[in-house]
Amino acid sequence: MPNVYFAKSIEKDWVKIDESMKLIIKEKIVQLEQFPNLSQIKKLTRHPLAEYRLRVGDYRVLFDYDKPTNSIFILKIGHRKDVY
């Protein structure tokens, strides 16, 4: 089960999201412990910030996975129009 860490910049992203969507995003982040066995995860190609994305409705959670330490680093959360 991977450890999940958040970048400091997530605080700014989190403020912009409405409360109902925050609950759904929190549930999906908890499910990241099942990585890579989630259907909503996609490996990104040539994205400057992250290796993977988790789709949560119109929002995206961008993250990296470090296999040696079995850790997930969440780098950005935002509406899909803003994160790509």
34 pLDDT band, cuts 50/70/90, is: confident
Quick check: helix, strand or coil at residue 53? strand
Whether residue 53 is predicted with pLDDT greater than 90 in this model: the reply is yes
pTM, two decimal places = 0.92
Q: Does domain 3-82 have CATH number 3.30.2310.20?
A: yes
Average pLDDT over residues 32-49: 89
Domain boundaries, the chain: 3-82
26 confidence band (pLDDT: 50, 70, 90): very high
